[in-house]
Chains A and B, each alone.
Chain A
């Protein structure tokens, strides 16, 4: 007996050395009245919820409670008896560090388990994968029905077969092989590039990197041929000589400029290539058109996932150069137009405006607003003032800034809508701009404005000393940008750029609002169809999952890239 009491008191003593009940209570319960109320409330809620869960699904709940007790035990063992284990310590500090924490952990574990169980039962356990269900049968099901993911089937009554619609939209099915070819080409290029990068072949073997770069540069053209087709106008002559000659001269000029700026080396071979490149391309194009190997696809039938990818990819590709131009424009330190030129011009134009147009407008004015509009020449003065004071006469910077801020101030769908409406007005009458192209243009402009701000941030992040060192060494502006600034800026910008790409991919869903049948749009029309009535939830959950997986993968990759780059610095 005494042995037991002795060891007990020893035990108590050993605890007492490290552990003070009163401090524990104070920290966890009594230090302030709010804490006490919070702990009491939490205890009540946890107790009620636990009891409810035990009643509704006893077995899983009891398992969770057992796990929780085990965690508590490990943590207590660590803290109380100084038996520290790595796991126990981590559990102790992260899960059950205080009374409220412990209660919260139990509550959350139970809730998560119950949520997980209901999701599982909906999506997997009670789910059906039968594509042969009909719409009324779908409505009777408790769980999810995934049968619509099956490929096309011939029976228009059953739910299977939505997958093709979701992939290609209302594209004429005979063009599907071309679309698949396009997808395969891009996939192959991407895999090759990643492989070359990872194995180091890209860095070591120049032909590989050059070859792949050219392949990537050519890919938009190939994709255009596959996805859009080559228009053939039998009335036009096979070869238009003026186009041929102008194109050749243009390419030669481009080559000359590149050689002068030391972008390419001079050699006879290069000159010959430059001279014949355009004619070869032009003739090849005309023959391709005539052969009708790739007839034109009605771009308005592009739809589904295919349209989403086309839009996202085009916007990503095009918005970078446009954004770059805008960013350089906004940051440009080109000397501005001096005061003594601007103000006289402003005065002249203002007076001219007042003289010629204001009297007429005043006479026609029907209400106060129109009277005010009659005095529009005042705006010229305001604009002149802003340009002089705010931008030191730098019109390039003023215009770029104004353009960027305006685009960023309106919602994307208004821009898309405006692009669709305005497209027929601003091109020569008779030109038809298919909606997808108008949307791509509008979306590119929108994305370029945001991209411009990102790039500007990157350029600003480069220390001023880099610019100065390049200047002091005598490098001119083009050389400075090309060799010193842009390589560094790109390195800084890559995480932000990838984020922007992901954003573009997600926002491409908005084109469905302006009437394009991208993945989201076509899903909306699918559920309208009697055949797939009742599949709304499954469809949207599926799409959400798809977007989540793709975006999450891209952003994880970007985070790894960012970590790799920052350690390299």
Chain B
């Protein structure tokens, strides 16, 4: 979990502002992410955490500032955007599996059409990841036939089959029943241990405490405090953070 200090900066975010019409959702955020880091974003709802990570793969368009992923600048250049999206994978709160395709088809759709792999190669690698998340027997079923936890694991496998460098998680367990949260968090922990670069927005404090290298606290579109996980929870400095922690940690 400790990051190799000589690792490269894989994501660089500098003075990013993002507007929805008149409303400023991100008010100048800065962040550097080293390869292999696991970062968790915390904050009350509406603080801009999801907007922040969605800006990284251009699901939201930032108005000012620079975002660079693996050295590729994120601008209006459509070629660069496509390249960044290949290297960045995202797992959504609502899973967003394609309901009309089988699990295997869900997983292999992008590799075949975007990375231009052959069907055999896509299925081989897809199966490998499906096995890794623990549900290889579901390959020919449809998403509607799987439980929420299984669907989310398929979503993770779908993302990983594209072999991205960075994984973004947008509240991946918030839509799951409590019994299934554990299985998804286990997968995420394994991925963290294997050295993937992860940015996760989540409310799972256990995950944040145990797995994250760094935690970022945001509110009102700004990063208010960041720090290594143990320091974060033991010695919160910012008042807002203290209030937040007191609200969530005592229930």
A and B touch in the complex (CB under 8 A): yes
Identify B82's interface contact among A463, A476, A483, A569, CB under 8 A: A476
Q: What sequence of 0s and 1s flags, for each residue 42-82 of chain B, a beta carbon within 8 Å of any chain A beta carbon?
A: 00000000000000011100000000000000000000001
Expressed in whole angstroms, the Cα–Cα distance for A463 and B175 within the complex equals 16
Among B86-94, B179-187, B227-235, the one that faces the other chain is: B86-94
Are A471 and B85 neighbours in the complex by a CB distance under 8 Å? yes
Task: From known contacts A474-B82, A475-B113, A475-B114, infer whether A469 and B144 are also in contact, taking CB-CB under 8 Å.
Answer: no
| In the complex, B99 has a CB within 8 A of chain A | yes
C-alpha spacing A468/B94, complex, angstroms: 11
Where chain A touches its partner, the secondary structure class is helix
Chain A CB within 8 A of B104 CB: no
Contact B59 A465 (CB under 8 A): no
B92 contacts A468, CB within 8 Å? Answer: yes
| A394 CB, min distance to chain B CBs, angstroms | 16
Which listed segment binds B: A243-251, A341-349, A484-492, A504-512?
A484-492
Residues of A within 8 A of B96 (CB): 463, 465-466, 468-469
Is B100 positioned at the interface, with any CB of A under 8 Å from its CB? yes
For residue A463, which residues in chain B have a CB less than 8 angstroms away from its CB? 94, 96
B98 touches A466 (CB 8 A): yes
Q: In the complex, what residues of B have CB within 8 A of residue A487's CB?
A: 100
Closest CB of chain A to B241's CB: distance in Å? 30
| Complex CA–CA separation, A476 to B59 (angstroms) | 13
- Provide the bound-state CA to CA distance between A484 and B106, in Å: 10
Bound together, the chains give a CA A471 to CA B109 distance in angstroms of 12
> Which chain A residues border B88 with CB–CB below 8 Å?
472
Q: In whole angstroms, how far apart are the Cα atoms of A473 and B86 in the complex? A: 7
* Residues of chain A with a CB closer than 8 A to B92's CB: 465, 468-469, 472
B144 to chain A: which residues have CB within 8 Å?
Answer: 569
A463, A469, A471, A479 — which one has the most chain B CB atoms within 10 A of its CB?
A469
1/0 per position for B138-177, CB-CB distance to A under 8 A? 0000001000000000000011001000000000000000
| Contact-residue bracket for chain A | 10 to 19
Q: How many chain-B residues does the 8 Å CB contact rule pick out?
A: 25
CA gap between A469 and B98 in the complex, in Å:
9
Q: Does A428 contact B (CB under 8 A)?
A: no
Enumerate B103-119 residues with CB–CB distance to A below 8 Å: 109-110, 113-114
Cβ contacts under 8 Å, A488 to chain B: 98-100
Q: Does A262 contact B (CB under 8 A)?
A: yes
Q: Which residue of B lies closest to A485 (CB)?
A: B98
Task: Pick the contact of B100: A262, A468, A471, A491 (CB < 8 A).
Answer: A491
Which single residue of chain B is at the shortest CB-CB distance from A486?
Answer: B100
In the complex the two chains form, is A472's CB within 8 Å of B98's CB? no
* Residues from chain B with Cβ under 8 Å of A473 in the complex: 85, 89, 109-110, 114, 158-159, 162
A464 CB to nearest B CB, Å: 9
Contact with A along B205-225 (1 / 0, CB 8 A): 000000000000000000000
- Whether A569 contacts B109 by the Cβ 8 Å rule is no
The closest CB in chain A to the CB of B88 belongs to: A472
Task: Give every chain A residue within 8 A of B98 (Cβ-Cβ).
Answer: 466, 469, 483-484, 488
B114 contacts across to A, CB distance below 8 A? 473-475, 479
On chain B, the residues within 8 Å of A465 by CB distance are 92, 94, 96
- Residues on A with C-beta less than 8 A from B101 are 483
A472: B residues at CB distance < 8 A = 57, 59, 85, 88-90, 92
| A530 vs B99: C-alpha distance when bound (angstroms) | 63
Whole-angstrom CA separation of A474 from B85 in the bound complex: 5
In the complex formed, the residue of A with least CB distance to B90 is A472
A262 to B118: give the CA distance in the assembly, Å: 12
| Interface residues as binary, A455-482 with B (CB distance below 8 Å gives 1, 0 otherwise) | 0000000010110110111111001000
- Expressed in whole angstroms, the minimum distance between the Cβ of B83 and any Cβ of chain A is 9
CB distance from A339 to the nearest CB of B (A): 15
Add 19 more A-B contacts to A469-B98, A484-B98 (CB < 8 A). Answer: A463-B94, A465-B92, A466-B96, A466-B98, A468-B92, A469-B97, A471-B85, A472-B90, A473-B85, A473-B109, A473-B158, A473-B162, A474-B86, A474-B114, A479-B114, A483-B113, A488-B98, A491-B100, A569-B144
Name B residues whose Cβ lies closer than 8 Å to a Cβ of A: 57-59, 82, 85-86, 88-90, 92, 94, 96-101, 109-110, 113-114, 144, 158-159, 162
- 22 A-B residue pairings within 8 Å (CB atoms): A463-B94, A465-B96, A466-B98, A468-B92, A469-B96, A471-B57, A471-B58, A471-B85, A472-B85, A472-B88, A472-B89, A473-B109, A473-B162, A474-B86, A475-B109, A475-B113, A475-B114, A479-B113, A483-B98, A487-B100, A488-B100, A491-B100
Closest 9 CB pairs of A and B: A469-B96, A473-B110, A465-B96, A472-B90, A474-B85, A474-B114, A474-B86, A487-B100, A465-B94
